[in-house]
Chains A and B, each alone.
Chain A
Amino acid sequence: MALNYDEVIEKYNPVLGLEVHVELNTESKMFCSCSTVFGAEPNTQTCPVCLALPGALPVVNEKAIESSIKIGLALNCSIAPYSRFARKNYFYPDMPKNFQISQYDEPICFDGYVDVEIDTDEGPKQFRIEIERVHMEEDTGKSLHVGGATGRIHGADYSLLDYNRAGIPLVEIVTKIVPGTGKYAPEVAKAYVAELRDILRGLGVSDVKMEQGSLRCDANVSLMLKDATELGTRSETKNVNSLRSVERAIRGEMLRHAEILETGGKVKQETRHFQEDTGLTRSGRSKEQAEDYRYFPDPDLVPVKPEAAWIETLRAQLPERPSIRRKRLQKQWAVPDKEFAAMVNADVLDIVEATVLLGADPAKARTWWLGEVSRIANDKSVAIDELAITPAHVAELINLVASGELTDKLARQVVEGVVAGEGTPSEVVAKRGIKVVNDDGALMAAIEKVCAAQADTAEKVRGGHLPAAGALIGAVMKETAGQADAAKVRELLLKFLGQ
Chain B
Amino acid sequence: MIFKTAAEMATSLANKEVSSVELTQSHLDRITAVDGDVKAFLHVDKEGALAQAAAVDANRAAGKSLSPLAGIPLALKDVLAQKGVPTTAGSKILQGWKPPYDSTVVSKLKDAGVVILGKTNMDEFAMGSSTENSGYGPTFNPWDLTRTPGGSSGGSAAAVSAFEAPLAIGSDTGGSIRQPAALTGIVGVRPTYGAVSRFGLIAYSSSLDQAGPFGRTVLDTAMLHEIIAGHDVKDATSINASVPSVVAAAKSGDVKGMKIGVIKQLQGEGYQKGVQTRFTESLDLLASLGAEIVEVDCPSFEFALAAYYLIAPSECSSNLARFDAMRYGLRTGDEGGASAEAVMAATRDAGFGREVKRRIILGTYALSSGYYDAYYGSAQKIRTLIIEDYKKAFAAADVLVSPTAPTTAYKIGEKVDDPMAMYLGDVATIPVNLAGICGMSLPAGLADEDNLPVGFQIMAPAMQDQRLYQAGAALEAALSSKWGGTLITKAPALKGGAN
* A interface residues with partner B (beta carbon < 8 Å): 48, 51-60, 87, 89, 91, 93, 96-99, 157, 159, 161, 290, 292, 294-296, 299-302
Contacts and interface: CB of A to CB of B under 8 A. Distances in A.
A186 B204 CA distance: 49
Interface stretch (B230-238, B255-263, B274-282, B386-394): B230-238
Contacts, number: 102
Interface centre among A57, A91, A97 (most CB of B within 10 A): A57
A158 to B, nearest CB: 8
A53 B368 CA distance: 26
Given A96-B322, A294-B318, A300-B236, A55 B200 contact: yes
Given A54-B97, A299-B205, A301-B237, 10 more contacts: A52-B327, A53-B328, A54-B89, A55-B200, A55-B201, A59-B233, A93-B324, A99-B318, A296-B372, A301-B236
Given A51-B327, A56-B200, A97-B321, A91 B341 contact: yes
A378 B304 CA distance: 67
Given A91-B344, A296-B314, A300-B206, A58 B236 contact: yes
A354 to B, nearest CB: 40
Given A97-B321, A296-B376, A301-B236, A54 B326 contact: no
B101 A48 contact: yes
B103 interface: yes
A53 B321 contact: no
B324 A57 contact: no
11 contacts: A54-B81, A57-B236, A89-B321, A91-B321, A91-B341, A93-B344, A96-B326, A99-B321, A294-B364, A299-B315, A301-B237
Nearest to A154: B339
Contacts of B323: 54
Interface centre among A98, A296, A301 (most CB of B within 10 A): A296
Interface of B: 80-81, 87, 89, 94, 97, 99-101, 103, 198-203, 205-207, 233-237, 314-315, 317-318, 321-324, 326-328, 337, 340-341, 344, 364, 367-369, 372, 376
Given A87-B318, A294-B367, A301-B236, A57 B199 contact: yes
Given A53-B101, A89-B318, A98 B81 contact: no
Nearest to A48: B101
A53 B340 CA distance: 19
A97 B97 CA distance: 17
Contact of A55 (B103, B324, B326, B344): B103
Given A54-B322, A89-B367, A300-B206, A48 B236 contact: no
A296 B367 contact: yes
B372 A93 contact: no
Contacts of A55: 80-81, 99, 103, 199-203
Contacts of B198: 57
A301 B238 CA distance: 10
Contacts of A159: 340
Mostly, the A contact residues are: loop
Contact of B321 (A48, A98, A292): A98
Nearest to A89: B318
Shortest Cβ-Cβ A-B pairs, 8 listed: A98-B321, A299-B207, A294-B367, A299-B206, A55-B200, A52-B322, A54-B202, A55-B81
A48 B201 CA distance: 12
Nearest to A161: B326
Given A55-B103, A55-B199, A60-B236, A93 B340 contact: yes
Interface centre among A54, A57, A159, A292 (most CB of B within 10 A): A54
A289 to B, nearest CB: 12
Nearest to B94: A54
B237 A300 contact: yes
Interface centre among B202, B235, B236 (most CB of A within 10 A): B236
Contact of B236 (A53, A157, A296, A302): A302
Contacts of A96: 322, 326-327
Contact of B234 (A51, A57, A294): A57
A157 B336 CA distance: 11
Contacts of A299: 205-207, 237, 315
A104 to B, nearest CB: 11
Given A54-B97, A55-B201, A59-B233, A91 B367 contact: no
Contacts of B97: 54
B200 to A, nearest CB: 4
Contacts of B80: 55
Given A292-B368, A294-B368, A300-B237, A91 B324 contact: yes
A97 B199 contact: no
A208 to B, nearest CB: 29
Nearest to A88: B318
Contacts of A59: 233-236
Given A55-B203, A159-B340, A296-B372, A302 B318 contact: no
Contacts of B369: 290, 292, 294
Contacts of A60: 236
B41 to A, nearest CB: 19
A48 B318 CA distance: 18
A56 B340 CA distance: 23
A353 B337 CA distance: 55
Contacts of B234: 57, 59
A206 to B, nearest CB: 24
Nearest to A54: B202
Interface centre among A60, A98, A161 (most CB of B within 10 A): A98
Contacts of B322: 52, 54, 96-98
A292 B369 CA distance: 6
A123 to B, nearest CB: 48
Given A55-B201, A57-B234, A58-B236, A48 B100 contact: yes
B345 to A, nearest CB: 9
B318 A54 contact: no
A56 B199 contact: yes
A299 B201 CA distance: 14
B235 A93 contact: no
A93 B94 CA distance: 18
Nearest to B367: A294
Contacts of B324: 91, 93, 98
Contacts of A301: 236-237
Nearest to A157: B337
Contacts of A300: 203, 206, 236-237
Contacts of B317: 89, 294
Contacts of B344: 91, 93
Contacts of A91: 321, 324, 341, 344
A229 B322 CA distance: 46
A401 to B, nearest CB: 58
A56 B318 CA distance: 14
A296 B337 CA distance: 35
A97 B321 CA distance: 6
A154 to B, nearest CB: 9
Contacts of A99: 318, 321
A57 B315 contact: no
Nearest to A51: B327
A59 B200 CA distance: 13
A157 B337 CA distance: 7
A163 to B, nearest CB: 8
Nearest to A49: B234
Nearest to B205: A299
A100 to B, nearest CB: 11
A296 to B, nearest CB: 6
Contacts of B235: 57, 59
